[in-house]
Structure 1
Protein backbone atom coordinates (compact mmCIF):
# COMPACT_ATOMS: atom_id res chain seq x y z
CA UNK A 1 0.00 0.00 0.00
CA UNK A 2 2.85 2.38 0.78
CA UNK A 3 4.21 1.91 -2.73
CA UNK A 4 0.85 2.82 -4.26
CA UNK A 5 0.76 5.98 -2.13
CA UNK A 6 4.22 6.85 -3.44
CA UNK A 7 3.00 6.51 -7.05
CA UNK A 8 -0.10 8.61 -6.31
CA UNK A 9 2.05 11.35 -4.79
CA UNK A 10 4.37 11.25 -7.79
CA UNK A 11 1.41 11.44 -10.17
CA UNK A 12 0.00 14.42 -8.24
CA UNK A 13 3.37 16.19 -8.41
CA UNK A 14 3.66 15.54 -12.15
CA UNK A 15 0.16 16.94 -12.74
CA UNK A 16 1.19 20.10 -10.88
CA UNK A 17 4.23 20.64 -13.10
CA UNK A 18 3.10 19.34 -16.48
CA UNK A 19 4.84 20.61 -19.59
CA UNK A 20 3.13 23.18 -21.78
CA UNK A 21 2.70 20.53 -24.50
CA UNK A 22 1.00 18.22 -21.99
CA UNK A 23 -1.23 21.08 -20.84
CA UNK A 24 -2.23 21.83 -24.43
CA UNK A 25 -3.05 18.19 -25.18
CA UNK A 26 -4.92 17.85 -21.87
CA UNK A 27 -7.21 20.73 -22.82
CA UNK A 28 -8.19 18.80 -25.95
CA UNK A 29 -8.69 15.46 -24.14
CA UNK A 30 -10.28 16.40 -20.79
CA UNK A 31 -13.99 16.16 -20.03
CA UNK A 32 -14.54 13.57 -22.78
CA UNK A 33 -13.85 16.17 -25.48
CA UNK A 34 -12.45 13.61 -27.91
CA UNK A 35 -15.39 11.54 -29.17
CA UNK A 36 -16.62 10.91 -25.62
CA UNK A 37 -13.49 9.02 -24.51
CA UNK A 38 -12.45 9.54 -20.88
CA UNK A 39 -8.79 10.27 -20.27
CA UNK A 40 -6.75 10.57 -17.11
CA UNK A 41 -3.49 12.46 -16.92
CA UNK A 42 -0.37 11.46 -15.00
CA UNK A 43 -1.98 8.18 -14.01
CA UNK A 44 -0.09 5.33 -12.27
CA UNK A 45 0.02 2.02 -14.14
CA UNK A 46 2.21 -0.73 -12.69
CA UNK A 47 5.52 0.97 -11.81
CA UNK A 48 5.01 3.89 -14.21
CA UNK A 49 3.11 7.16 -14.22
CA UNK A 50 1.87 7.64 -17.79
CA UNK A 51 1.17 11.05 -19.31
CA UNK A 52 -2.38 10.21 -20.45
CA UNK A 53 -4.48 7.07 -20.48
CA UNK A 54 -7.91 5.99 -21.60
CA UNK A 55 -8.52 2.99 -19.37
CA UNK A 56 -11.59 1.92 -21.31
CA UNK A 57 -9.76 2.33 -24.64
CA UNK A 58 -6.57 0.69 -23.28
CA UNK A 59 -4.57 3.54 -24.83
CA UNK A 60 -1.59 5.29 -23.26
CA UNK A 61 -0.37 8.55 -24.79
CA UNK A 62 3.17 9.63 -23.98
CA UNK A 63 4.30 13.15 -24.87
CA UNK A 64 8.04 13.07 -25.43
CA UNK A 65 10.25 16.13 -25.30
CA UNK A 66 13.87 16.59 -26.30
CA UNK A 67 15.02 14.57 -23.28
CA UNK A 68 13.71 11.39 -24.93
CA UNK A 69 16.17 11.42 -27.82
CA UNK A 70 19.28 9.97 -26.16
CA UNK A 71 20.20 6.28 -26.35
CA UNK A 72 19.51 5.64 -22.65
CA UNK A 73 16.12 7.35 -22.83
CA UNK A 74 15.16 5.46 -25.99
CA UNK A 75 16.04 2.18 -24.25
CA UNK A 76 14.02 3.15 -21.14
CA UNK A 77 11.05 4.22 -23.27
CA UNK A 78 11.17 0.94 -25.21
CA UNK A 79 11.14 -1.08 -21.99
CA UNK A 80 8.32 1.05 -20.62
CA UNK A 81 6.31 0.47 -23.81
CA UNK A 82 6.98 -3.27 -23.63
CA UNK A 83 5.71 -3.48 -20.05
CA UNK A 84 2.61 -1.37 -20.76
CA UNK A 85 1.81 -3.46 -23.84
CA UNK A 86 2.20 -6.65 -21.78
CA UNK A 87 -0.54 -5.22 -19.53
CA UNK A 88 -2.85 -4.87 -22.55
CA UNK A 89 -2.31 -1.20 -23.37
CA UNK A 90 -1.37 0.27 -26.71
CA UNK A 91 1.18 3.09 -26.43
CA UNK A 92 1.08 6.10 -28.73
CA UNK A 93 4.12 8.35 -28.52
CA UNK A 94 3.94 11.92 -29.77
CA UNK A 95 6.50 14.69 -29.49
CA UNK A 96 6.11 18.13 -28.00
CA UNK A 97 6.58 19.46 -31.53
CA UNK A 98 3.69 17.30 -32.78
CA UNK A 99 1.42 18.80 -30.11
CA UNK A 100 2.53 22.40 -30.80
CA UNK A 101 2.60 22.24 -34.61
CA UNK A 102 -0.12 19.71 -35.42
CA UNK A 103 -2.56 19.22 -32.55
CA UNK A 104 -5.41 18.25 -34.94
CA UNK A 105 -3.16 15.55 -36.42
CA UNK A 106 -2.31 14.25 -32.94
CA UNK A 107 -6.00 14.12 -32.04
CA UNK A 108 -6.76 12.30 -35.31
CA UNK A 109 -4.06 9.73 -34.47
CA UNK A 110 -5.51 9.27 -30.98
CA UNK A 111 -9.04 8.86 -32.36
CA UNK A 112 -7.75 6.35 -34.92
CA UNK A 113 -6.05 4.30 -32.21
CA UNK A 114 -9.21 4.26 -30.09
CA UNK A 115 -11.33 3.08 -33.01
CA UNK A 116 -9.08 0.11 -33.75
CA UNK A 117 -10.37 -3.25 -32.52
CA UNK A 118 -8.62 -4.31 -29.34
CA UNK A 119 -7.32 -7.85 -28.91
Structure 2
Protein backbone atom coordinates (compact mmCIF):
# COMPACT_ATOMS: atom_id res chain seq x y z
CA UNK A 1 0.00 0.00 0.00
CA UNK A 2 1.49 3.28 -1.15
CA UNK A 3 0.33 6.61 0.23
CA UNK A 4 -0.53 9.20 -2.42
CA UNK A 5 -1.23 12.13 -0.09
CA UNK A 6 -2.89 13.12 3.17
CA UNK A 7 -6.14 14.96 3.73
CA UNK A 8 -5.77 16.37 7.19
CA UNK A 9 -4.05 13.60 9.08
CA UNK A 10 -5.67 10.82 7.04
CA UNK A 11 -3.40 8.98 4.59
CA UNK A 12 -4.88 8.54 1.11
CA UNK A 13 -3.76 5.37 -0.66
CA UNK A 14 -3.01 4.96 -4.34
CA UNK A 15 -5.25 2.51 -6.17
CA UNK A 16 -4.11 -0.28 -8.43
CA UNK A 17 -6.21 0.37 -11.51
CA UNK A 18 -5.24 -1.75 -14.51
CA UNK A 19 -4.63 -0.03 -17.82
CA UNK A 20 -7.92 1.18 -19.21
CA UNK A 21 -9.30 0.91 -22.74
CA UNK A 22 -8.65 3.94 -24.92
CA UNK A 23 -10.55 4.84 -28.08
CA UNK A 24 -7.94 6.75 -30.08
CA UNK A 25 -10.64 8.08 -32.44
CA UNK A 26 -11.86 10.33 -29.61
CA UNK A 27 -8.46 11.99 -29.27
CA UNK A 28 -9.25 14.48 -32.05
CA UNK A 29 -12.21 15.77 -29.97
CA UNK A 30 -10.12 16.67 -26.91
CA UNK A 31 -8.69 20.05 -28.01
CA UNK A 32 -12.14 21.31 -28.95
CA UNK A 33 -13.68 20.10 -25.68
CA UNK A 34 -10.88 21.69 -23.65
CA UNK A 35 -11.13 24.98 -25.52
CA UNK A 36 -14.93 24.90 -25.26
CA UNK A 37 -14.48 26.15 -21.75
CA UNK A 38 -17.68 25.14 -19.99
CA UNK A 39 -17.68 27.58 -17.07
CA UNK A 40 -18.17 25.02 -14.30
CA UNK A 41 -15.38 22.81 -15.63
CA UNK A 42 -13.06 25.80 -15.90
CA UNK A 43 -13.84 26.87 -12.32
CA UNK A 44 -13.22 23.35 -11.01
CA UNK A 45 -10.01 23.08 -13.04
CA UNK A 46 -8.68 26.33 -11.54
CA UNK A 47 -9.12 24.80 -8.08
CA UNK A 48 -7.47 21.43 -8.78
CA UNK A 49 -4.90 21.86 -11.57
CA UNK A 50 -1.19 21.84 -10.82
CA UNK A 51 -1.84 19.65 -7.77
CA UNK A 52 -3.45 22.52 -5.83
CA UNK A 53 -5.97 20.16 -4.18
CA UNK A 54 -4.02 18.12 -1.60
CA UNK A 55 -1.21 17.49 -4.08
CA UNK A 56 -3.46 15.28 -6.22
CA UNK A 57 -2.86 15.20 -9.99
CA UNK A 58 -6.10 15.70 -11.95
CA UNK A 59 -6.34 15.22 -15.71
CA UNK A 60 -8.95 17.14 -17.68
CA UNK A 61 -10.97 15.53 -20.48
CA UNK A 62 -9.58 12.00 -20.29
CA UNK A 63 -10.56 9.17 -22.60
CA UNK A 64 -11.70 5.95 -20.96
CA UNK A 65 -12.99 3.44 -23.47
CA UNK A 66 -15.57 5.13 -25.68
CA UNK A 67 -16.13 7.99 -23.23
CA UNK A 68 -14.48 11.29 -22.44
CA UNK A 69 -14.72 12.01 -18.73
CA UNK A 70 -14.54 15.55 -17.36
CA UNK A 71 -11.73 14.87 -14.87
CA UNK A 72 -9.72 11.80 -13.93
CA UNK A 73 -7.30 11.05 -11.09
CA UNK A 74 -5.29 8.13 -12.42
CA UNK A 75 -3.52 7.31 -9.16
CA UNK A 76 -6.86 6.94 -7.38
CA UNK A 77 -9.00 5.58 -10.19
CA UNK A 78 -11.38 8.48 -9.58
CA UNK A 79 -13.60 10.07 -12.22
CA UNK A 80 -15.18 13.46 -11.53
CA UNK A 81 -18.19 14.32 -13.66
CA UNK A 82 -19.74 17.78 -13.67
CA UNK A 83 -23.39 17.49 -14.65
CA UNK A 84 -25.29 20.31 -16.33
CA UNK A 85 -28.95 20.59 -17.21
CA UNK A 86 -28.55 18.23 -20.19
CA UNK A 87 -27.95 15.34 -17.79
CA UNK A 88 -31.57 15.62 -16.65
CA UNK A 89 -32.63 14.08 -19.97
CA UNK A 90 -29.71 11.63 -20.24
CA UNK A 91 -30.26 9.58 -17.07
CA UNK A 92 -30.15 6.19 -18.82
CA UNK A 93 -27.02 7.16 -20.76
CA UNK A 94 -25.34 8.42 -17.57
CA UNK A 95 -26.24 5.23 -15.68
CA UNK A 96 -24.85 3.03 -18.47
CA UNK A 97 -21.70 5.15 -18.65
CA UNK A 98 -21.21 5.04 -14.87
CA UNK A 99 -21.69 1.25 -14.78
CA UNK A 100 -19.09 0.93 -17.55
CA UNK A 101 -16.57 3.06 -15.61
CA UNK A 102 -17.23 1.22 -12.36
CA UNK A 103 -16.74 -2.13 -14.11
CA UNK A 104 -13.03 -1.21 -14.25
CA UNK A 105 -12.93 -0.51 -10.53
CA UNK A 106 -13.21 3.25 -10.97
CA UNK A 107 -15.09 5.46 -8.54
CA UNK A 108 -17.32 8.23 -9.94
CA UNK A 109 -17.96 11.48 -8.08
CA UNK A 110 -20.71 13.63 -9.59
CA UNK A 111 -21.08 17.38 -9.13
CA UNK A 112 -23.87 19.58 -10.46
CA UNK A 113 -23.13 22.79 -12.38
CA UNK A 114 -25.31 24.63 -9.88
CA UNK A 115 -23.22 23.45 -6.92
CA UNK A 116 -19.96 24.49 -8.58
CA UNK A 117 -21.38 27.95 -9.23
CA UNK A 118 -23.16 28.44 -5.91
CA UNK A 119 -21.42 26.17 -3.36
CA UNK A 120 -17.83 25.62 -4.48
CA UNK A 121 -16.44 25.35 -0.95
CA UNK A 122 -19.08 22.75 -0.05
CA UNK A 123 -18.35 20.78 -3.23
CA UNK A 124 -14.64 20.65 -2.40
CA UNK A 125 -15.38 19.50 1.18
CA UNK A 126 -17.71 16.82 -0.24
CA UNK A 127 -14.91 15.72 -2.59
CA UNK A 128 -12.49 15.53 0.35
CA UNK A 129 -14.96 13.36 2.29
CA UNK A 130 -15.54 11.14 -0.75
CA UNK A 131 -11.80 10.61 -1.22
CA UNK A 132 -11.33 9.87 2.48
CA UNK A 133 -14.22 7.37 2.49
CA UNK A 134 -13.05 5.56 -0.65
CA UNK A 135 -9.25 5.85 -0.50
CA UNK A 136 -8.39 6.83 3.07
CA UNK A 137 -6.86 4.70 5.78
CA UNK A 138 -8.61 4.63 9.14
CA UNK A 139 -6.71 4.37 12.41
CA UNK A 140 -4.99 1.02 12.58
CA UNK A 141 -4.20 1.11 8.86
CA UNK A 142 -7.38 -0.54 7.58
CA UNK A 143 -9.45 0.94 4.76
CA UNK A 144 -13.21 0.78 5.34
Same fold (TM over 0.5): yes
Unaligned runs of 5+ in 1: none
Structure with higher helix content: 1
TM-score by length of 2: 0.74
Distance, in Å, in 2 between the alignment partners of 1:7 and 1:56 is: 22
Residue in 2 that maps onto 1:113? 130
Unaligned runs of 5+ in 2: 1-21, 136-143
Q: Which has the larger radius of gyration?
A: 2
Shift of 1:77: 0.3
Q: Which runs of 4+ in 1 moved over 3 A?
A: none
Confirm or deny that 1:97 pairs with 2:114.
yes
| More divergent stretch after superposition (3-12 vs 56-65) | 3-12
Distance, in Å, in 1 between the alignment partners of 2:45 and 2:134 is: 24
Q: What are the residue-to-residue correspondences of 1:1-119 with 2, within 5 Å?
A: 4-70=23-89, 73-118=90-135
TM-score by length of 1: 0.89
Figure out how many residues of one structure are paired with residues of the other and give that number: 115
Shift of 1:46: 1.1
TM-align CA RMSD:
1.6
